[in-house]
């Protein structure tokens, strides 16, 4: 047992010598592995600080600043989402008060342009059998126009990004040339219904305003709210 303990001790001393030599030969080791400094504990007497301790403090300070930045980002995102929810609630309440299809279109267009800085807003309906005296976009689409958006309707989810020229023309007409990105929201009143009442199209002059990587949760909620209001008026 004594011989084994001695061998283990000697082995430990040899390893320490190797580590010491390696660190001396590679002074940039901790620059390549700064996270190790945050995991090390090196006691020191008051007075002149050891350089390694100073590096530890610097690493921990950087970690603290990084955590503060991330916390601020989360706080900013939460506040932005809160403002977004308030604006969507305002649209929903205005839609509830809409007297007819024309009012629905006006509420959607005015609110999205005013509260969400949309450059163009279009509401297109599918197979409703209903027309509108003031808004031609409420008339049923022809089959060729519907075909350009079959995949969007089949996905049942909002899509964002750049649209094909034919899609832009069908949706935005004379404004098509000014729309650089858009969000398309298929209008399903509920998750279990098979009826798509149409599309809500929101256009922007900015290329990066709507892109495929952006979240669509609030667009989905807005689409369901609009679809339910439409369903009520279309059934009258």
Residue-wise pLDDT tens digits, 172-222: 888 899 999 999 999 887 777 777 888 899 999 999 999 999 989 889 999
The confidence score (pLDDT) of residue 136 equals 53
The confidence score (pLDDT) of residue 1 equals 44
At which residue do the structure tokens 């959607």 appear?
Answer: 108
| Domains of the chain: residue spans and CATH | 100-234 (3.30.450.40)
- Which tens digits make up the pLDDT trace of 128-148? 555 544 555 554 555 555 666
The three-state DSSP-derived secondary structure of the chain is CHHHHHHHHHHHHHHHHHHHHHHHHCCCHHHHCCHHHHHCCCCCCCCCCCHHHHHHHHHHHHHHHHHHHHHHHHHHHHHHHHHHHHHHHHHHHHHHCCCCHHHHHHHHHHHHHHHCCCCEEEEEECCCCCCCCCCHHHCCCCHHHHHCCHHHHHHCCCEEECCCHHHHHHHHHHHHHHCCEEEEEEEECCCCCCCEEEEEEEEECCCCCCCCCCCCHHHHHHHHHHHHHHHHHHCC
- Which tens digits make up the pLDDT trace of 217-230? 889 999 999 988 88
The confidence score (pLDDT) of residue 41 equals 61
87-109 average pLDDT score? 89
């Amino acid at each position: 047992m004594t011989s084994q303990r001695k061998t283990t001790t000697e082995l430990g001393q040899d390893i320490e010598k190797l580590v010491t030599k390696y660190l001396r030969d590679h002074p940039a080791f901790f620059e390549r592995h700064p996270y190790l400094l945050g995991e090390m504990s090196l006691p020191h007497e008051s007075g002149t600080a050891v350089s390694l301790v100073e590096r530890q403090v610097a690493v921990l300070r950087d970690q603290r600043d990084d955590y503060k930045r991330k916390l601020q980002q989360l706080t900013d995102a939460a506040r932005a989402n809160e403002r977004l929810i308030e604006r969507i609630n305002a649209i929903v309440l205005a839609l509830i008060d809409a007297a007819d299809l024309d009012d629905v279109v006006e509420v959607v267009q005015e609110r999205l342009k005013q509260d969400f800085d949309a450059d163009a807003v279009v509401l297109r309906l599918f197979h409703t059998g209903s027309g509108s005296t003031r808004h031609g976009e409420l008339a049923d689409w022809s089959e060729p126009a519907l075909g350009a958006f079959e995949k969007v309707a089949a996905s049942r989810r909002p899509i964002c990004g750049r649209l094909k020229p034919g899609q832009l023309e069908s949706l935005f007409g004379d404004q098509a040339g000014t729309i650089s990105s858009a969000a398309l929201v298929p209008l399903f009143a509920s998750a279990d219904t098979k009826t798509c009442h149409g599309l809500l199209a929101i256009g922007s002059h900015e290329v990066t305003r709507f892109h495929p990587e952006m979240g669509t949760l609030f667009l989905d909620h807005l689409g369901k709210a609009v679809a339910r209001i439409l369903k009520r008026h279309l059934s009258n």
